[in-house]
Structure 1
Protein backbone atom coordinates (compact mmCIF):
# COMPACT_ATOMS: atom_id res chain seq x y z
CA UNK A 1 0.00 0.00 0.00
CA UNK A 2 1.22 3.49 -0.82
CA UNK A 3 2.11 5.76 2.06
CA UNK A 4 3.07 9.41 1.62
CA UNK A 5 6.75 10.26 1.38
CA UNK A 6 8.18 11.55 4.62
CA UNK A 7 10.96 13.51 2.92
CA UNK A 8 9.15 16.83 3.41
CA UNK A 9 8.77 16.20 7.15
CA UNK A 10 12.50 16.67 7.68
CA UNK A 11 12.36 19.93 5.76
CA UNK A 12 9.39 21.16 7.79
CA UNK A 13 11.04 20.52 11.16
CA UNK A 14 14.08 22.53 10.11
CA UNK A 15 12.29 25.73 9.10
CA UNK A 16 11.05 28.43 11.50
CA UNK A 17 7.35 29.19 11.71
CA UNK A 18 6.18 30.88 8.56
CA UNK A 19 3.15 32.94 7.65
CA UNK A 20 1.62 31.15 4.68
CA UNK A 21 -1.29 32.31 2.53
CA UNK A 22 -3.04 29.63 0.46
CA UNK A 23 -5.30 30.79 -2.36
CA UNK A 24 -7.95 28.11 -2.74
CA UNK A 25 -7.29 25.17 -0.46
CA UNK A 26 -10.94 24.30 0.09
CA UNK A 27 -11.06 20.80 -1.44
CA UNK A 28 -9.18 17.78 -2.74
CA UNK A 29 -5.40 17.85 -2.37
CA UNK A 30 -5.43 21.62 -1.74
CA UNK A 31 -7.15 21.06 1.58
CA UNK A 32 -4.60 18.35 2.33
CA UNK A 33 -1.79 20.88 1.84
CA UNK A 34 -3.47 23.36 4.20
CA UNK A 35 -3.79 20.69 6.90
CA UNK A 36 -0.16 19.60 6.47
CA UNK A 37 1.09 23.18 6.74
CA UNK A 38 -0.99 23.73 9.86
CA UNK A 39 0.23 20.49 11.42
CA UNK A 40 3.82 21.52 10.67
CA UNK A 41 3.32 24.57 12.89
CA UNK A 42 2.87 27.19 10.20
CA UNK A 43 0.61 30.24 10.59
CA UNK A 44 -1.81 29.45 7.75
CA UNK A 45 -4.47 31.63 6.17
CA UNK A 46 -6.68 30.49 3.30
CA UNK A 47 -8.25 32.92 0.86
CA UNK A 48 -11.21 31.66 -1.14
CA UNK A 49 -14.90 32.21 -1.79
CA UNK A 50 -15.94 30.41 1.38
CA UNK A 51 -17.73 27.42 -0.12
CA UNK A 52 -16.15 25.29 2.61
CA UNK A 53 -15.06 26.36 6.10
CA UNK A 54 -11.32 26.32 6.67
CA UNK A 55 -9.87 23.48 8.78
CA UNK A 56 -9.63 24.18 12.50
CA UNK A 57 -6.62 26.26 13.41
CA UNK A 58 -6.54 27.97 10.01
CA UNK A 59 -7.62 31.55 9.37
CA UNK A 60 -9.91 32.25 6.42
CA UNK A 61 -10.46 35.30 4.22
CA UNK A 62 -13.61 35.04 2.11
CA UNK A 63 -13.10 37.07 -1.05
CA UNK A 64 -13.23 36.80 -4.84
CA UNK A 65 -9.59 36.90 -5.99
CA UNK A 66 -10.71 38.24 -9.38
CA UNK A 67 -12.00 41.46 -7.78
CA UNK A 68 -8.86 43.54 -7.23
CA UNK A 69 -10.56 46.20 -5.07
CA UNK A 70 -12.19 43.57 -2.87
CA UNK A 71 -8.94 41.63 -2.63
CA UNK A 72 -6.98 44.70 -1.49
CA UNK A 73 -9.62 45.51 1.13
CA UNK A 74 -9.65 41.95 2.50
CA UNK A 75 -5.86 41.73 2.79
CA UNK A 76 -5.29 45.19 4.22
CA UNK A 77 -1.68 45.51 5.37
CA UNK A 78 -1.07 41.76 5.64
CA UNK A 79 2.11 40.28 4.24
CA UNK A 80 3.30 36.67 4.13
CA UNK A 81 6.48 34.67 4.00
CA UNK A 82 5.02 32.43 1.29
CA UNK A 83 1.94 32.41 -0.92
CA UNK A 84 0.76 29.08 -2.33
CA UNK A 85 -1.61 29.79 -5.21
CA UNK A 86 -3.72 26.71 -5.89
CA UNK A 87 -6.26 28.38 -8.15
CA UNK A 88 -4.50 30.64 -10.65
CA UNK A 89 -5.68 29.76 -14.15
CA UNK A 90 -5.11 32.90 -16.23
CA UNK A 91 -2.61 35.72 -16.68
CA UNK A 92 -5.28 38.18 -15.57
CA UNK A 93 -5.52 36.44 -12.19
CA UNK A 94 -1.72 36.37 -12.01
CA UNK A 95 -1.46 40.11 -12.71
CA UNK A 96 -3.96 40.95 -9.98
CA UNK A 97 -2.16 38.70 -7.49
CA UNK A 98 1.21 40.17 -8.41
CA UNK A 99 -0.05 43.70 -7.84
CA UNK A 100 -1.89 43.04 -4.58
CA UNK A 101 -0.21 40.22 -2.62
CA UNK A 102 2.86 40.94 -0.55
CA UNK A 103 5.10 37.93 0.01
CA UNK A 104 8.74 36.91 0.15
CA UNK A 105 8.12 33.91 -2.10
CA UNK A 106 5.31 32.84 -4.44
CA UNK A 107 4.47 29.22 -5.30
CA UNK A 108 1.92 28.50 -8.03
CA UNK A 109 0.32 25.11 -8.59
CA UNK A 110 0.67 24.65 -12.34
CA UNK A 111 0.06 21.60 -14.52
CA UNK A 112 1.53 19.04 -16.87
CA UNK A 113 -0.74 20.64 -19.49
CA UNK A 114 1.72 23.51 -19.94
CA UNK A 115 3.61 20.99 -22.10
CA UNK A 116 0.65 20.40 -24.41
CA UNK A 117 2.50 21.90 -27.39
CA UNK A 118 5.68 19.87 -26.80
CA UNK A 119 6.44 16.97 -29.10
CA UNK A 120 9.17 14.68 -27.82
CA UNK A 121 9.97 11.02 -27.32
CA UNK A 122 11.84 11.55 -24.05
CA UNK A 123 10.61 12.71 -20.62
CA UNK A 124 9.83 16.42 -20.60
CA UNK A 125 12.19 18.69 -18.68
CA UNK A 126 11.16 22.04 -17.26
CA UNK A 127 13.22 23.94 -19.86
CA UNK A 128 10.93 22.78 -22.69
CA UNK A 129 8.35 25.42 -21.73
CA UNK A 130 9.53 28.88 -22.70
CA UNK A 131 7.87 32.16 -21.63
CA UNK A 132 4.48 32.52 -23.25
CA UNK A 133 3.06 35.53 -25.04
CA UNK A 134 0.77 37.14 -22.48
CA UNK A 135 -2.60 38.40 -23.73
CA UNK A 136 -4.67 40.03 -21.00
CA UNK A 137 -7.50 40.86 -23.40
CA UNK A 138 -8.56 37.31 -24.27
CA UNK A 139 -12.09 36.60 -23.03
CA UNK A 140 -11.10 33.05 -22.10
CA UNK A 141 -8.06 30.78 -22.09
CA UNK A 142 -7.62 27.06 -22.56
CA UNK A 143 -6.21 25.32 -19.51
CA UNK A 144 -2.63 24.75 -20.65
CA UNK A 145 -2.19 28.17 -22.25
CA UNK A 146 -3.79 29.98 -19.33
CA UNK A 147 -1.35 28.32 -16.94
CA UNK A 148 1.63 29.03 -19.23
CA UNK A 149 0.72 32.71 -19.42
CA UNK A 150 0.15 32.89 -15.65
CA UNK A 151 3.60 31.38 -15.06
CA UNK A 152 5.09 33.98 -17.40
CA UNK A 153 3.48 36.86 -15.50
CA UNK A 154 4.77 35.70 -12.12
CA UNK A 155 8.24 34.83 -13.43
CA UNK A 156 8.61 38.38 -14.76
CA UNK A 157 7.99 39.87 -11.32
CA UNK A 158 10.39 40.68 -8.51
CA UNK A 159 9.13 38.08 -6.02
CA UNK A 160 11.02 34.73 -6.05
CA UNK A 161 8.68 32.37 -7.90
CA UNK A 162 8.09 28.61 -8.15
CA UNK A 163 5.73 26.87 -10.57
CA UNK A 164 4.90 23.27 -9.61
CA UNK A 165 3.91 21.43 -12.78
CA UNK A 166 1.67 18.71 -11.44
CA UNK A 167 1.10 15.37 -13.16
CA UNK A 168 -2.42 13.95 -13.55
CA UNK A 169 -3.77 13.48 -10.02
CA UNK A 170 -5.61 10.32 -9.02
CA UNK A 171 -6.94 8.96 -5.75
CA UNK A 172 -8.56 10.58 -2.76
CA UNK A 173 -11.73 12.63 -3.11
CA UNK A 174 -11.22 13.29 -6.82
CA UNK A 175 -14.04 15.49 -8.10
CA UNK A 176 -13.01 15.27 -11.78
CA UNK A 177 -14.47 11.80 -12.34
CA UNK A 178 -11.75 10.82 -14.82
CA UNK A 179 -10.60 7.63 -13.11
CA UNK A 180 -14.19 6.85 -12.14
CA UNK A 181 -15.03 6.89 -15.86
CA UNK A 182 -12.74 3.91 -16.39
CA UNK A 183 -13.76 2.01 -13.29
CA UNK A 184 -17.47 2.28 -14.00
CA UNK A 185 -17.23 1.45 -17.70
CA UNK A 186 -14.80 -1.43 -17.37
CA UNK A 187 -16.56 -2.95 -14.37
CA UNK A 188 -19.77 -2.86 -16.42
CA UNK A 189 -18.04 -4.61 -19.35
CA UNK A 190 -18.21 -1.54 -21.59
CA UNK A 191 -15.43 -0.43 -23.93
CA UNK A 192 -13.47 2.77 -23.40
CA UNK A 193 -12.65 5.07 -26.30
CA UNK A 194 -8.96 5.49 -27.03
CA UNK A 195 -6.60 6.79 -29.70
CA UNK A 196 -5.20 4.37 -32.24
CA UNK A 197 -1.77 4.54 -30.62
CA UNK A 198 -2.25 5.79 -27.05
CA UNK A 199 0.94 7.17 -25.51
CA UNK A 200 2.02 7.23 -21.85
CA UNK A 201 1.91 10.08 -19.37
CA UNK A 202 2.75 10.76 -15.71
CA UNK A 203 0.42 10.43 -12.72
CA UNK A 204 0.56 11.16 -8.99
CA UNK A 205 -1.61 10.29 -5.99
CA UNK A 206 -3.52 13.09 -4.26
CA UNK A 207 -1.71 12.40 -0.99
CA UNK A 208 1.67 12.59 -2.66
CA UNK A 209 1.05 15.89 -4.43
CA UNK A 210 -0.19 17.32 -1.12
CA UNK A 211 3.13 16.21 0.38
CA UNK A 212 5.06 17.71 -2.50
CA UNK A 213 3.31 21.07 -2.40
CA UNK A 214 3.85 21.29 1.36
CA UNK A 215 7.54 20.56 0.85
CA UNK A 216 7.83 23.04 -2.03
CA UNK A 217 6.05 25.76 -0.06
CA UNK A 218 8.52 25.49 2.82
CA UNK A 219 11.66 25.06 0.71
CA UNK A 220 13.77 27.86 -0.76
CA UNK A 221 14.34 26.93 -4.41
CA UNK A 222 12.82 28.86 -7.30
CA UNK A 223 11.80 28.18 -10.89
CA UNK A 224 9.63 25.51 -12.49
CA UNK A 225 9.63 21.97 -11.11
CA UNK A 226 7.83 18.84 -12.31
CA UNK A 227 5.98 16.65 -9.81
CA UNK A 228 4.85 13.11 -10.57
CA UNK A 229 5.23 9.52 -9.42
CA UNK A 230 7.82 7.34 -11.11
CA UNK A 231 6.62 4.96 -13.83
CA UNK A 232 4.98 6.17 -17.03
CA UNK A 233 1.50 4.83 -17.69
CA UNK A 234 -0.61 4.58 -20.84
CA UNK A 235 -4.37 4.23 -20.97
CA UNK A 236 -3.87 0.58 -21.88
CA UNK A 237 -1.95 -0.05 -18.66
CA UNK A 238 -4.40 2.02 -16.66
CA UNK A 239 -7.28 -0.09 -17.95
CA UNK A 240 -5.35 -3.30 -17.25
CA UNK A 241 -5.03 -2.24 -13.60
CA UNK A 242 -8.84 -2.09 -13.43
CA UNK A 243 -9.95 -5.07 -15.52
CA UNK A 244 -8.31 -8.36 -16.47
CA UNK A 245 -9.87 -8.13 -19.94
CA UNK A 246 -10.47 -4.47 -20.77
CA UNK A 247 -12.24 -3.62 -24.02
CA UNK A 248 -11.31 -0.65 -26.18
CA UNK A 249 -12.81 1.23 -29.09
CA UNK A 250 -10.49 3.29 -31.30
CA UNK A 251 -11.81 6.76 -32.12
CA UNK A 252 -10.42 9.71 -34.05
CA UNK A 253 -11.62 12.30 -31.55
CA UNK A 254 -13.26 12.57 -28.13
CA UNK A 255 -11.14 9.80 -26.66
CA UNK A 256 -11.48 8.97 -22.99
CA UNK A 257 -9.52 10.94 -20.36
CA UNK A 258 -5.85 9.94 -20.14
CA UNK A 259 -5.76 8.62 -23.71
CA UNK A 260 -3.00 10.73 -25.24
CA UNK A 261 -1.89 10.89 -28.86
CA UNK A 262 1.54 12.23 -27.87
CA UNK A 263 4.26 11.18 -25.45
CA UNK A 264 3.52 13.19 -22.30
CA UNK A 265 5.85 11.97 -19.56
CA UNK A 266 7.44 14.31 -17.02
CA UNK A 267 11.12 14.30 -16.16
CA UNK A 268 11.16 14.69 -12.36
CA UNK A 269 14.94 14.67 -11.92
CA UNK A 270 15.00 18.30 -10.74
CA UNK A 271 12.61 17.55 -7.87
CA UNK A 272 14.49 14.43 -6.84
CA UNK A 273 17.78 16.32 -7.05
CA UNK A 274 16.34 18.93 -4.70
CA UNK A 275 15.55 16.19 -2.21
CA UNK A 276 12.00 14.90 -2.73
CA UNK A 277 11.44 11.13 -3.01
CA UNK A 278 8.51 10.13 -5.22
CA UNK A 279 6.64 6.85 -5.05
CA UNK A 280 6.03 4.62 -8.08
CA UNK A 281 2.61 4.64 -9.73
CA UNK A 282 2.13 0.91 -9.22
CA UNK A 283 2.53 1.45 -5.45
CA UNK A 284 -0.85 3.13 -5.20
CA UNK A 285 -2.89 2.69 -8.39
CA UNK A 286 -4.71 -0.44 -7.22
CA UNK A 287 -5.64 1.30 -3.99
CA UNK A 288 -7.05 4.30 -5.87
CA UNK A 289 -9.21 1.98 -7.98
CA UNK A 290 -10.54 0.12 -4.95
CA UNK A 291 -11.35 3.41 -3.20
CA UNK A 292 -13.66 4.28 -6.06
CA UNK A 293 -15.34 0.89 -6.02
CA UNK A 294 -16.05 1.18 -2.31
CA UNK A 295 -17.36 4.70 -2.73
Structure 2
Protein backbone atom coordinates (compact mmCIF):
# COMPACT_ATOMS: atom_id res chain seq x y z
CA UNK A 1 0.00 0.00 0.00
CA UNK A 2 1.34 3.41 -0.95
CA UNK A 3 -1.48 5.96 -0.80
CA UNK A 4 -3.74 6.40 2.23
CA UNK A 5 -6.90 8.47 2.54
CA UNK A 6 -7.57 9.55 6.12
CA UNK A 7 -11.10 10.69 6.85
CA UNK A 8 -10.44 13.27 9.54
CA UNK A 9 -6.74 13.50 10.27
CA UNK A 10 -6.09 16.87 11.92
CA UNK A 11 -6.97 16.54 15.59
CA UNK A 12 -6.19 13.61 17.87
CA UNK A 13 -6.16 10.00 16.68
CA UNK A 14 -6.18 11.06 13.04
CA UNK A 15 -3.25 13.41 13.55
CA UNK A 16 -1.11 10.64 15.01
CA UNK A 17 -2.29 8.28 12.29
CA UNK A 18 -1.03 10.64 9.59
CA UNK A 19 2.36 10.79 11.31
CA UNK A 20 2.43 6.99 11.59
CA UNK A 21 1.64 6.59 7.91
CA UNK A 22 4.25 9.14 6.86
CA UNK A 23 6.83 7.34 9.00
CA UNK A 24 6.04 4.20 6.98
CA UNK A 25 6.41 5.88 3.57
CA UNK A 26 2.76 6.38 2.72
CA UNK A 27 1.53 9.31 0.71
CA UNK A 28 -1.46 10.68 2.59
CA UNK A 29 -4.56 12.59 1.59
CA UNK A 30 -6.77 14.11 4.28
CA UNK A 31 -10.50 14.40 3.75
CA UNK A 32 -12.29 16.73 6.14
CA UNK A 33 -14.36 19.90 6.37
CA UNK A 34 -11.45 22.09 7.38
CA UNK A 35 -13.01 23.22 10.65
CA UNK A 36 -9.76 22.70 12.53
CA UNK A 37 -6.21 23.85 11.87
CA UNK A 38 -4.33 21.48 9.59
CA UNK A 39 -0.97 20.61 11.20
CA UNK A 40 0.18 19.10 7.89
CA UNK A 41 -0.57 22.11 5.70
CA UNK A 42 3.09 22.51 4.77
CA UNK A 43 4.14 18.88 5.03
CA UNK A 44 5.56 17.01 2.06
CA UNK A 45 3.55 14.03 0.93
CA UNK A 46 0.29 15.15 2.56
CA UNK A 47 -2.55 16.52 0.42
CA UNK A 48 -6.04 17.50 1.43
CA UNK A 49 -9.51 17.27 -0.07
CA UNK A 50 -12.13 19.48 1.57
CA UNK A 51 -15.58 18.07 2.05
CA UNK A 52 -18.20 16.72 4.40
CA UNK A 53 -18.06 12.97 4.91
CA UNK A 54 -21.84 12.92 5.48
CA UNK A 55 -22.37 14.31 1.96
CA UNK A 56 -22.53 11.44 -0.53
CA UNK A 57 -21.18 13.59 -3.36
CA UNK A 58 -18.23 14.84 -1.31
CA UNK A 59 -17.33 11.28 -0.34
CA UNK A 60 -17.40 10.19 -3.99
CA UNK A 61 -15.18 13.15 -4.87
CA UNK A 62 -12.70 12.05 -2.19
CA UNK A 63 -12.58 8.59 -3.74
CA UNK A 64 -11.22 10.17 -6.91
CA UNK A 65 -7.77 10.37 -5.29
CA UNK A 66 -7.69 6.58 -5.79
CA UNK A 67 -6.39 5.50 -2.36
CA UNK A 68 -4.96 2.08 -1.62
CA UNK A 69 -6.18 2.26 1.99
CA UNK A 70 -8.88 4.30 3.73
CA UNK A 71 -8.78 5.03 7.46
CA UNK A 72 -12.07 6.27 8.89
CA UNK A 73 -11.45 8.31 12.05
CA UNK A 74 -14.75 10.17 12.26
CA UNK A 75 -17.50 7.63 11.56
CA UNK A 76 -19.87 8.23 14.48
CA UNK A 77 -23.09 6.93 12.95
CA UNK A 78 -23.91 3.67 11.15
CA UNK A 79 -24.83 5.60 8.02
CA UNK A 80 -21.26 6.97 7.88
CA UNK A 81 -19.84 3.45 7.75
CA UNK A 82 -22.39 2.25 5.21
CA UNK A 83 -21.57 5.17 2.93
CA UNK A 84 -17.84 4.61 3.20
CA UNK A 85 -17.91 0.85 2.63
CA UNK A 86 -20.04 1.47 -0.46
CA UNK A 87 -17.90 4.25 -1.93
CA UNK A 88 -14.56 2.57 -1.08
CA UNK A 89 -15.60 -0.97 -1.96
CA UNK A 90 -12.51 -1.63 -4.10
CA UNK A 91 -9.66 -0.42 -1.87
CA UNK A 92 -7.03 -2.74 -0.47
CA UNK A 93 -8.14 -1.89 3.07
CA UNK A 94 -10.88 0.12 4.76
CA UNK A 95 -10.25 0.49 8.51
CA UNK A 96 -13.00 1.84 10.75
CA UNK A 97 -12.37 3.13 14.27
CA UNK A 98 -14.96 1.43 16.40
CA UNK A 99 -14.75 1.36 20.22
CA UNK A 100 -14.45 -0.90 23.23
CA UNK A 101 -17.83 0.60 24.13
CA UNK A 102 -19.32 -1.59 21.40
CA UNK A 103 -19.20 -4.56 23.79
CA UNK A 104 -22.42 -5.33 25.60
CA UNK A 105 -21.33 -7.87 28.20
CA UNK A 106 -18.88 -7.07 31.00
CA UNK A 107 -16.45 -9.93 30.32
CA UNK A 108 -12.94 -9.76 31.78
CA UNK A 109 -11.35 -9.45 29.33
CA UNK A 110 -13.62 -8.63 26.41
CA UNK A 111 -12.69 -10.70 23.37
CA UNK A 112 -13.57 -10.00 19.75
CA UNK A 113 -14.87 -13.47 18.96
CA UNK A 114 -16.79 -14.26 22.14
CA UNK A 115 -18.03 -11.11 23.87
CA UNK A 116 -21.36 -9.94 22.38
CA UNK A 117 -21.69 -6.40 21.07
CA UNK A 118 -24.65 -4.08 21.52
CA UNK A 119 -27.72 -4.12 19.38
CA UNK A 120 -28.74 -0.79 17.85
CA UNK A 121 -32.27 0.43 17.25
CA UNK A 122 -33.22 2.77 14.43
CA UNK A 123 -33.61 5.56 16.98
CA UNK A 124 -30.19 4.91 18.52
CA UNK A 125 -28.56 4.87 15.09
CA UNK A 126 -29.30 8.56 14.57
CA UNK A 127 -29.05 9.78 18.16
CA UNK A 128 -26.11 11.80 19.46
CA UNK A 129 -26.79 10.92 23.11
CA UNK A 130 -23.83 9.54 25.08
CA UNK A 131 -25.70 6.35 25.95
CA UNK A 132 -26.13 5.49 22.26
CA UNK A 133 -22.40 5.73 21.46
CA UNK A 134 -21.68 2.04 22.10
CA UNK A 135 -24.70 0.78 20.12
CA UNK A 136 -23.81 3.09 17.21
CA UNK A 137 -20.23 1.86 17.12
CA UNK A 138 -21.42 -1.75 17.33
CA UNK A 139 -23.76 -1.21 14.38
CA UNK A 140 -20.82 0.23 12.45
CA UNK A 141 -18.94 -3.00 13.15
CA UNK A 142 -21.82 -5.07 11.82
CA UNK A 143 -21.84 -3.00 8.64
CA UNK A 144 -18.09 -3.65 8.27
CA UNK A 145 -18.70 -7.39 8.68
CA UNK A 146 -21.53 -7.35 6.13
CA UNK A 147 -19.41 -5.39 3.66
CA UNK A 148 -16.61 -7.93 4.01
CA UNK A 149 -19.05 -10.71 3.18
CA UNK A 150 -19.76 -8.81 -0.04
CA UNK A 151 -16.07 -8.67 -0.91
CA UNK A 152 -15.02 -5.33 0.63
CA UNK A 153 -11.66 -5.38 2.43
CA UNK A 154 -13.19 -3.79 5.53
CA UNK A 155 -11.93 -4.18 9.11
CA UNK A 156 -12.44 -2.40 12.42
CA UNK A 157 -10.25 -1.40 15.35
CA UNK A 158 -11.70 -1.15 18.85
CA UNK A 159 -9.81 1.06 21.31
CA UNK A 160 -10.84 1.76 24.90
CA UNK A 161 -10.19 5.25 26.39
CA UNK A 162 -7.47 6.91 24.29
CA UNK A 163 -4.87 9.24 25.81
CA UNK A 164 -1.77 11.06 24.67
CA UNK A 165 -0.53 14.27 23.04
CA UNK A 166 -3.12 16.59 21.45
CA UNK A 167 -6.01 14.98 23.37
CA UNK A 168 -8.71 17.64 23.13
CA UNK A 169 -11.02 15.61 25.42
CA UNK A 170 -8.77 16.54 28.38
CA UNK A 171 -9.70 13.37 30.30
CA UNK A 172 -6.16 12.52 31.37
CA UNK A 173 -5.37 16.22 31.76
CA UNK A 174 -7.62 16.37 34.83
CA UNK A 175 -5.39 13.94 36.70
CA UNK A 176 -2.10 15.39 35.42
CA UNK A 177 -3.25 18.85 36.50
CA UNK A 178 -4.19 17.57 39.98
CA UNK A 179 -0.88 15.78 40.54
CA UNK A 180 1.10 18.71 39.16
CA UNK A 181 -0.55 21.30 41.40
CA UNK A 182 -1.21 19.45 44.65
CA UNK A 183 0.71 17.05 46.87
CA UNK A 184 -2.46 15.40 48.18
CA UNK A 185 -5.38 14.29 46.02
CA UNK A 186 -8.55 12.23 46.30
CA UNK A 187 -9.00 9.05 44.30
CA UNK A 188 -12.50 7.51 44.32
CA UNK A 189 -13.03 4.04 45.75
CA UNK A 190 -10.03 2.08 46.94
CA UNK A 191 -7.85 2.98 43.95
CA UNK A 192 -8.12 -0.46 42.33
CA UNK A 193 -10.62 0.60 39.66
CA UNK A 194 -9.59 -0.58 36.18
CA UNK A 195 -10.64 1.19 32.98
CA UNK A 196 -8.48 0.00 30.11
CA UNK A 197 -6.71 2.79 28.24
CA UNK A 198 -4.60 2.98 25.10
CA UNK A 199 -1.86 5.39 24.08
CA UNK A 200 -2.84 7.30 20.94
CA UNK A 201 0.27 6.40 18.93
CA UNK A 202 -0.59 2.75 19.50
CA UNK A 203 -4.07 3.23 18.07
CA UNK A 204 -2.42 4.75 15.01
CA UNK A 205 0.07 1.91 14.62
CA UNK A 206 -2.72 -0.59 15.24
CA UNK A 207 -4.75 0.85 12.39
CA UNK A 208 -1.81 0.66 10.03
CA UNK A 209 -0.95 -2.90 11.04
CA UNK A 210 -4.57 -4.01 10.67
CA UNK A 211 -4.73 -2.43 7.20
CA UNK A 212 -1.56 -4.23 6.15
CA UNK A 213 -1.95 -7.57 7.93
CA UNK A 214 -5.56 -7.88 9.10
CA UNK A 215 -8.33 -9.99 7.65
CA UNK A 216 -11.47 -8.46 6.10
CA UNK A 217 -14.53 -8.81 8.30
CA UNK A 218 -12.54 -8.87 11.54
CA UNK A 219 -12.45 -6.53 14.53
CA UNK A 220 -9.26 -5.96 16.52
CA UNK A 221 -8.98 -4.60 20.06
CA UNK A 222 -6.09 -2.21 20.69
CA UNK A 223 -5.12 -1.27 24.25
CA UNK A 224 -2.15 -0.84 26.56
CA UNK A 225 -0.70 -4.33 26.90
CA UNK A 226 0.15 -3.58 30.50
CA UNK A 227 -2.73 -2.04 32.42
CA UNK A 228 -2.68 -0.09 35.65
CA UNK A 229 -5.34 0.72 38.22
CA UNK A 230 -6.54 4.27 38.77
CA UNK A 231 -4.10 4.54 41.67
CA UNK A 232 -1.33 3.13 39.48
CA UNK A 233 -2.11 5.69 36.79
CA UNK A 234 -1.82 8.56 39.29
CA UNK A 235 1.48 7.18 40.56
CA UNK A 236 2.74 6.89 36.98
CA UNK A 237 1.75 10.51 36.32
CA UNK A 238 3.68 11.55 39.43
CA UNK A 239 6.82 9.74 38.26
CA UNK A 240 6.43 11.11 34.74
CA UNK A 241 6.10 14.68 36.00
CA UNK A 242 9.34 14.25 37.93
CA UNK A 243 11.01 12.93 34.78
CA UNK A 244 10.01 15.85 32.55
CA UNK A 245 9.75 18.72 35.07
CA UNK A 246 12.76 19.26 37.33
CA UNK A 247 10.64 21.43 39.65
CA UNK A 248 8.20 18.63 40.43
CA UNK A 249 8.75 16.78 43.69
CA UNK A 250 7.40 13.24 43.37
CA UNK A 251 5.53 11.54 46.17
CA UNK A 252 1.92 12.67 45.78
CA UNK A 253 -0.25 11.39 48.61
CA UNK A 254 -3.22 9.45 47.26
CA UNK A 255 -6.23 9.56 49.60
CA UNK A 256 -8.97 7.08 48.70
CA UNK A 257 -12.60 7.92 49.46
CA UNK A 258 -15.77 5.91 49.19
CA UNK A 259 -19.36 7.10 48.56
CA UNK A 260 -19.98 8.04 52.20
CA UNK A 261 -16.88 10.24 52.47
CA UNK A 262 -17.49 11.83 49.06
CA UNK A 263 -21.08 12.62 50.01
CA UNK A 264 -19.75 15.18 52.50
CA UNK A 265 -19.03 17.41 49.49
CA UNK A 266 -21.97 16.14 47.42
CA UNK A 267 -19.59 14.22 45.13
CA UNK A 268 -20.39 10.90 43.45
CA UNK A 269 -17.81 8.27 42.58
CA UNK A 270 -18.31 8.70 38.85
CA UNK A 271 -17.88 12.48 39.08
CA UNK A 272 -14.18 11.62 38.72
CA UNK A 273 -13.15 11.08 35.11
CA UNK A 274 -11.64 7.68 34.25
CA UNK A 275 -13.47 5.98 37.12
CA UNK A 276 -15.64 3.10 35.99
CA UNK A 277 -17.57 0.41 37.80
CA UNK A 278 -17.57 -2.39 36.70
CA UNK A 279 -13.99 -2.68 35.38
CA UNK A 280 -13.37 -2.59 31.64
CA UNK A 281 -10.63 -4.69 30.04
CA UNK A 282 -9.99 -5.70 26.43
CA UNK A 283 -7.93 -8.63 25.22
CA UNK A 284 -5.21 -7.50 22.78
CA UNK A 285 -4.00 -11.00 21.81
CA UNK A 286 -5.58 -10.90 18.37
CA UNK A 287 -3.89 -7.72 17.13
CA UNK A 288 -0.61 -8.77 18.77
CA UNK A 289 -0.59 -11.83 16.52
CA UNK A 290 -0.34 -9.44 13.56
CA UNK A 291 2.93 -8.07 14.95
CA UNK A 292 1.52 -5.06 16.84
CA UNK A 293 2.73 -4.08 20.30
CA UNK A 294 2.04 -1.18 22.62
CA UNK A 295 4.40 1.54 23.81
CA UNK A 296 5.88 1.03 27.31
CA UNK A 297 3.67 2.80 29.84
CA UNK A 298 6.46 4.97 31.21
CA UNK A 299 7.28 6.28 27.74
CA UNK A 300 3.64 6.85 26.84
CA UNK A 301 2.90 8.72 30.06
CA UNK A 302 6.03 10.88 29.91
CA UNK A 303 5.09 12.00 26.40
CA UNK A 304 1.52 12.68 27.53
CA UNK A 305 2.66 14.66 30.55
CA UNK A 306 5.16 16.70 28.52
CA UNK A 307 2.44 17.59 26.03
CA UNK A 308 0.11 18.60 28.87
CA UNK A 309 2.74 20.95 30.31
CA UNK A 310 3.23 22.54 26.88
CA UNK A 311 -0.51 23.06 26.42
CA UNK A 312 -3.19 25.18 28.07
CA UNK A 313 -5.36 22.16 28.85
CA UNK A 314 -6.38 21.53 32.47
CA UNK A 315 -9.30 19.11 32.31
CA UNK A 316 -10.63 20.67 35.50
CA UNK A 317 -14.21 20.49 34.29
CA UNK A 318 -13.92 16.69 34.33
CA UNK A 319 -13.81 16.33 38.10
CA UNK A 320 -14.76 17.92 41.40
CA UNK A 321 -13.63 21.45 42.22
CA UNK A 322 -10.55 21.59 44.40
CA UNK A 323 -12.57 23.23 47.19
CA UNK A 324 -14.92 20.24 47.29
CA UNK A 325 -11.98 17.85 47.18
CA UNK A 326 -10.47 19.62 50.19
CA UNK A 327 -13.77 19.24 52.05
CA UNK A 328 -13.51 15.49 51.53
CA UNK A 329 -9.90 15.52 52.68
CA UNK A 330 -10.97 17.39 55.80
CA UNK A 331 -13.63 14.81 56.58
CA UNK A 332 -11.16 11.96 56.10
CA UNK A 333 -8.65 13.67 58.39
CA UNK A 334 -11.17 13.53 61.25
CA UNK A 335 -11.81 9.80 60.95
TM over 0.5: yes
CA distance in 2: counterparts of 1:145 and 1:214, whole angstroms: 25
Q: How many residues align?
A: 276
Match of 1:218 among 212, 217, 222: 212
Q: Which has the higher helix share?
A: 2
State whether structure 2 residue 113 is matched by structure 1 residue 113. Answer: no
In structure 2, relative to structure 1, the CA distance for the partners of 1:37 and 1:291 (3 Å cut) is closer
Aligned to 1:10: none
Partner of 1:152: 142
Residue 42 of structure 1: which of 5, 26, 34 is its match? 26
CA displacement, residues 46-89 of structure 1 (integer Å, 9 cap, x when unaligned): 111123334432221111111223333x2365543221111111
Higher gyration radius (CA)? 2
Which structure 2 residue ranges, 5 or more long, are not aligned? 239-251, 260-267, 312-335
Could you state the TM-score of these two structures normalised by the residue count of structure 1? 0.82
Mean CA deviation greater in 235-244 or 146-155: 235-244
Structure with greater contact order relative to length (CA < 8 Å, sep ≥ 6): 1
264-273 or 127-136, which moves further after superposition?
127-136
Question: Once the two structures are superposed, what CA deviation does each residue of 1:101-143 show, in whole Å capped at 9, x if it has no partner?
Answer: 342321111222223x3223x3221124446544445441422
Is residue 179 from structure 1 mapped to residue 172 from structure 2 by the alignment? Answer: yes
TM-score by length of 2: 0.73
Cα contact 1:186–1:246 (8 A) shared by 2? no
The corresponding residue for 1:58 is: 46
CA contact (8 A) 1:123 1:266 kept: yes
In structure 1, the partner of 2:158 is: 165
Aligned equivalent of 1:237: 232
- RMSD over aligned CA atoms reads 2.6
Between the aligned partners of 1:294 and 1:114, the Cα distance in structure 2 is 33
Q: Distance in 2 between matches of 1:236 and 1:272?
A: 27
1:91–1:128 CA distance, 2 compared to 1 (3 A): same
Which residue of 187, 193, 197 corresponds with 1:199? 193
CA distance in 2, matches of 1:149, 1:95: 10
Shift of 1:257: 1.7
1:101-140 to 2 correspondences below 5 Å: 101-102=88-89, 103-115=91-103, 117-120=104-107, 122-130=108-116, 132-138=118-124, 139-140=126-127
Q: Tell me, in whole angstroms, the C-alpha distance in 2 between the residues paired with 1:60 and 1:254.
A: 40
User: Bigger CA drift: 247-256 or 159-168?
Assistant: 247-256
